[in-house]
Chains A and B, each alone.
Chain A
């Protein structure tokens, strides 16, 4: 299929339907409302179900129900709405059920602004719900990558029986870019022999959340973390951009990374040996990308007051090697300010 020009929110919806998603429960919020709009229009055409719930909390619990029945199911929102969904995300995680959750981030805290931001890293990557857990978090940097990651997210959710979060921002949701739907081969999915199938249709299955015996719960949590170890080993993804001979490395994800790339190109033209490390999975975090002896400084760039920077410090095991620059509150970084900050750090690198 040839390339088409699509808005990010709609492209994500189309990708979900192509991945076999047939259930969507959501509630509108800027800057992601075109996604539920698209699903409301397109899901019934393929025999799917769209419900606009009365709140984000009921939407995520409908997702829990559909996931427990073995469906491919999605919800989406933007930052304050994702905050409301945290309880349900924790329940789905505890029950080991697959779901895909899209967060088109906007500025916060609180109701904040409707402009793009990356300030939900802590909430989505570190766990905004209670208890010992992680969710897989994928961070697309273009609309094409958002499409590819949504399709991958459904596979990852089904293989590892976990919520998978697509962490993008308002800019990815609102902008249009060329995108291609290639029907890439999907992975082999284990049989859903745990799904609730209804009374009288075979053996009894249970989906549950409460474990009053501490030893039982501890054992389950240990199993959960054995699963996380497997995910860390097999599913960590990042991109190196012009890193071969780099002495300095920008670190950025999502929208910030595409702006940083143009800053890298400008600095390279001036002779600076700098590249970009772009985490594509935020959890699992690509720790191995930061084990490089030849890097003098990791320059972390975010549209936040500094959140991923904590993981960069942990990964490179030297806090003195990590510096941070960010814009917050819905302000979008410019490549010029990134170039200037890079120069201020590299000084006489030439």
Chain B
């Protein structure tokens, strides 16, 4: 596979960092080379958050992504301007259209609009928006399988969260469904 470099961006509390960890762990479980790297700095609670995930067949060189990302998952408006242009030509941009009313004005990338907050509310848990967006991402990018995300779930969040696996599975599938309806 081509080395996948994926940025997750949003605000603190949306599950930006944990979405990245889930994808990274799933990649590791599939035997791929992986890295996860957060942006770190003087941030306030509720401020912007982003992380970079690399999934590859080769040892990961730089865990930081400054250009040529293969995909970006953008969860809020302040992250939109910063991350839309980090994705290389032919890449994929997943937009949380619940919080972002702008359209991506590029014709060289695949863009998927996912009303993640609304879908999460429908499923019954607003915290699931990041999981829905992962579903949309893997539907297009095939970074890892849906099963690997589920297998990674308790590794990242702990065994005591296993009871939430069914609702998370539903969230991933809603994300996949939403993405597939747009291609």
Contact = CB atoms under 8 A, between A and B. Distances in A.
Contacts of B40: 30-31, 114, 170, 174
B63 A171 contact: yes
B35 A177 contact: yes
A176 B36 contact: yes
Given A114-B40, A171-B37, A5 B61 contact: no
Interface size class, chain A: 20 to 34
B58 A174 contact: no
Interface in A297-339: 332-335
Interface string B55-97: 0001111111011000000000000000000000000000000
B34 A265 contact: no
A164 interface: no
Q: Which among A3, A258, A335 has the highest number of chain B CB atoms within 10 Å?
A: A258
B63 to A, nearest CB: 5
Given A5-B24, A332-B66, A334-B66, A176 B59 contact: no
Contacts of B59: 142, 258, 261
Interface residues of B, number: 23
Contacts of A176: 21, 24, 35-37
Contacts of B42: 114
A335 B37 contact: no
Contacts of B38: 174
B15 to A, nearest CB: 16
A176 B58 CA distance: 16
Given A5-B28, A5-B36, A178-B34, A171 B21 contact: no
Contact of A5 (B37, B58, B155): B155
Nearest to B39: A174
Contact of B61 (A3, A178, A262): A262
Nearest to B33: A178
A259 interface: yes
B123 to A, nearest CB: 27
A31 B62 CA distance: 17
Contacts, number: 62
B21 A5 contact: yes
A176 B61 CA distance: 13
A5 B25 CA distance: 7
Interface in A22-58: 30-31
B64 to A, nearest CB: 5
A336 to B, nearest CB: 8
Given A5-B25, A114-B40, A262 B58 contact: yes
A194 B35 CA distance: 44
Nearest to A261: B61
A283 B170 CA distance: 54
Q: Which among B41, B58, B59, B64 has the highest number of chain A CB atoms within 10 Å?
A: B64
A175 interface: yes
A291 B41 CA distance: 43
Interface string B2-43: 000000000000000000010011001000001111101110
Contacts of A334: 62, 66-67
A265 B25 contact: no
Contacts of B67: 334
A142 B66 CA distance: 20
A4 B156 CA distance: 10
A258 B60 contact: yes
Interface of B: 21, 24-25, 28, 34-38, 40-42, 58-64, 66-67, 155-156
Going nearest first, the 4 A-B pairs with the smallest beta carbon separation are A262-B61, A176-B36, A175-B37, A175-B63
Given A176-B36, A259-B62, A262-B62, 11 more contacts: A4-B155, A5-B21, A5-B24, A114-B41, A178-B34, A258-B62, A261-B61, A262-B61, A265-B58, A332-B62, A334-B67
Interface of A: 3-5, 30-31, 114, 142, 170-171, 174-178, 255, 258-259, 261-263, 265, 332-335
12 contacts: A142-B59, A170-B40, A171-B37, A171-B64, A175-B63, A176-B35, A176-B36, A177-B60, A178-B28, A259-B61, A259-B62, A262-B61
